[in-house]
Structure 1
Amino acid sequence: MFKSKTFRKMLISITLVCFCFYGIGLFSNLYSRRVLANQIQDTLDSKVRFWEEQLEQEVTSLLLTQSSLTDDSNLLKLHVMWDSMSSYQRNEAIKQFSYRLLNIKVLHGIAASINTYFPERRMVVSADAPILDEYEEDIFEGYEQFYLTEEGDICLTVYFPFYGSPREDKLPHYYIRTTITPYTLQDTLSEMLGEDEGILFLMDAEEGRVLAGSGKKLMEDVAETPVLNAVRKQLTEAEDEEMIHVSEDGFASGCLFPKLGVWLVYCYPDRILEEPLDFFGIFNIALTVLALALLVSYAWYARKSFAKPLDKIMQAMEDFQDKESFLIEEQDRDDRDELTVIYHRYNKIVKKTESLIRENLDSKYRVHIAELRQLQYQIQPHFLYNSIFLIYRMARMDENETMAEYAEHLGKYYQYITRVGNSMVKVRQEISHIENYLAIQETRFGERIRAFLGDTPEEVKDMDIMPLILQPLVENAYEHGMKDCMRNGQIWISMCYESGIFSFTVEDNGPGMSEEELIGVCRKMEEGTIETEEIHAISNTNIRLKLHYGEGSGLTFENREEGGFRVTARILLGEGQNHG
């Protein structure tokens, strides 16, 4: 099977086509996977920005609410009139202010505690308890509004008064601080996430530690989210970036919360992402199997439908030395495909070729016969004998001048037929030979038979033509058409040239032929079975014309309406000439 070069080329071609489609499929697969991944990443980015804006609005609202507390009347009383107030007045002011802090805590669920600190008096008013006796020392360097503790708590603080250039000897009169713990953050993040299948984390910008998450079990959630390792690495390397994207071990998108110095990171579960992406892996496997199956199926089908039939043709062409025929055995099949047609036409071509070979051999044989007859015709002993006897009679009658002219024409006649051989001559040379022949016959027959030669077309005078191809037609008119004519015999010779065809016509006023004779002569002429004795030299001339100038050339015969016979030679000369 693989010995056939054509079959190998077919396999290579289909393999290349399969690989091309396979490559296009893989490229489309990878491109689709990348597009899907980008779409997922864009979705994550949109979601994390939205949630970051929500968180920022919550924190900003909480800060504004804290700032509005600095002008609270009860707070101002506690600060300015503490010493002049009675215990009852102090307790009432503290209770009312604490109740307001409680309302703020309830309104902002993100707040774990809201406390008001009086550093000079070392007391604390809380939303959970009116007065806290314990007061921890605070550092007011920088008067930071946002502060992240080591425990992961986020502190939002409003100072009164606020010093633009903090000094150690100047302490704020009081400050209001809201503490946001991981627990309250978890509730807030979970509420923001809603029914989304992902998970939110709040992470430290400097160390990359997880401060809070939207899940109830933070440590387990961190352990089950491997993409956080890549997130930590990117957070530590991020400098001025406000967004991060991670697609290693899952997908994650993070947005910086600059006020708090933390990152809000949204992670999407691997299992949810891999479900649509797994389709592409399955598609790759299916595409590979399909490509291999197509290749194997095509190889089997090509071997059965193409390789084997081609092998038959090759064997028929190569093993001819041991066979009597080139023909291929054809099988009867209901489905005639192209190869069946090729078998049939191949056998038809073989038969036609064998027929052409036989015809070619037959043509060559006929050519040799025609050449042999031409040689025999050139000798023409009867014409030579008649000419010698005529010279003898003229010598006896003392017709010296006529005898001299006759001898001159006779010499030119035999000079022409003995020198031309098989080489081509000009039309004018052939016509000049006919003129010599007519002069000889005029001397011989005198007034009994008169011949009239028309003008030769100027276009054909210098064209090449086979020698001794026209003169036999004139001689046939003398020997056959005028054979029984005793007086008033006439022969007309005319020529014309049109559309590359040179026509040479010889007519006589002899008895002509009957219809049966004419039909028989034409049929024998087509079959090539006419004998020279029936029409002198005509058959040989017709064979030479057809073999040399093609099927468009040859002789035609007909009876004249006025009586007599007409022979026309049609010869393809000029552009239509075919030296076959």
Structure 2
Amino acid sequence: MEREPDNEDLKQSGAIPDAPIGKFGFSWKNTVYFRLLATLIIVILPLYVIGTNLYQWGASTIKDQVTAANSSQARFYLDSLETDIRRIQALQYDTLNDEDLNELANLAGIMTDYEYSRAVDRLKQRLKAIKSSSRYIEDVTAYIHPIERSVSAVGGYREFDANRFEGGGGPGTARMTEPSGIMYQSEARVILLNAGSSMSKQNGGHFPQYSIEVKLAVRNMQEAMGDPEYSDGGFMLVDRNGQIIFNSSGTSAFAKALNTGIRGQLGNGNKGTASLRVDGKLLLAASENSAYLGMDMVRYIPADAVFKPIDNYRVWFWIFSFSALLIVLLFSYSLYSIMHRPLLKLLRAFRRLRSGDMQIRIRHNHNDDFNYLYMYFNQTVENLDVLIEQVYRQKILVQKAELKHLQAQINPHFLYNSFFILHRMIKGRDMANSLVFSRELGNYMKYITRSAAETTELANEVAHARSYAEIQAMRFSNRLRVEFAQLPDTIANKQIPRLILQPIIENAVVHGLPNKVTDAYIRVSFPSMEGAVAIVVEDNGEELTDLKMSSLRKQLEFHDDNQETTGLLNIHRRIQLKYGMESGLTVSRSEWGGLKVTQLLYVGDE
């Protein structure tokens, strides 16, 4: 048996030159493998240097981005708070012009009890609407000084303490020093937004006729900021005097130390970023201020939470890199010697086998798994050579026999029906139609007997089906109409199996329309489909039930060699044997409720 020449044979024949042999059994100097290793090392070293620089640059970029994001988020929260307070104040000032409020302040003495009560209710409803407009609002109160009464969205109608608006004001109270303003009430942990009307004298003091006070809950404002992204991070809101309004995390001492450190670096009321250590923790802080609110928003995050994972990654990156490089070098050498070279030889043999070279044989010089693999490969190729020849011949013979058998079933099936129809015509003494029928039957016999070929042009098959349709139309002249669509010229000359259209029309007549007394209708069309010939036969029969449809689909989908292949199954099987499993028949309901049979023949360029 002829064998494939190995390196020693090629050397002896002069096909490849001798090379000096190194300590590993081959010359490193002249091998592509050595050059690839050298190239790999040359590429990896600069990559490691670039990777280190990228790490430093990345760490710096991340720090800048985190700092910028920190400032942006603090600015966003402060702007959102300012926007809401501006909107709330706009509602305050708008309420100062409320008709009911003015009447209660100026006309309470001449109003009836009903008018007074209605005015109070309407004012209370308006205050409730303001309260519902923002989650920051805890209560909205209208103080009416001439009658020393207040109307609250929460507390309703009641008296109020006039001392609240006097110059003194005790601990925990808000002092009104201007007609409108924002004040922080530290002990009550609320922010008061006051807006008053024109000033008037009363009981020796100056008071607005009425004022609107919006009470903002700091706790709600704090909750609106959301949970801090880092466990040791958070938010802090500070007023213009440096007093902490709220701190989202940490103790009071922690917040004071943080506030002192930030103001020490940035100054009172200045904005910017700061890096400082509080309680042993390095923090990155960003401060943004609002001149309108007179408040600073501070957002702080722990530096370790941001940069410690990066530092750990750098150490593990180098450990992994050097370990991976060493493993790759050792593994690549072992893999090449033990597996890569024998596999390449085997792959080349498979490539030649795939191209049809059944004489390929390979050898291995070591008594290992590849030696057995090569031996079984050679035996498999020898067996394949014999089996392919046998199976190919057997398949051809079986297909020819089955095709002959299937086509032979078609002709008697139609003839039995045709002679029975002719018998009925003669028996009924319908001589004119009998003459036409016998002529068409003769044309039919001529078509199926004039050639032994298994295929014909589609135009001939359609003409044959038209003859059959005319015969059936003569038989059922009062109730059957068969309509053929125009056959496209692009597929008229396509070669198709004989007798695949007429039996489908016959199936529609026999099984689809037996009880159709009038207006029985069959349509044959040829829809355009790229790469395939499509023929559709549909009727308006009333015999098709869902159970019959399901049974027919199962018969077409699952072929049983023991099943009788007649009618539609016959045609389906013949088409699939010739053109493959993608071709064949599919069934569905027609638009008139009868059976719709679609033939697809992927005939290619035949």
- TM-score bucket (shorter structure): 0.3 to 0.5
Q: TM-score normalised to the size of structure 2?
A: 0.38
Larger radius of gyration: 1
Q: TM-score normalised to the size of structure 1?
A: 0.39
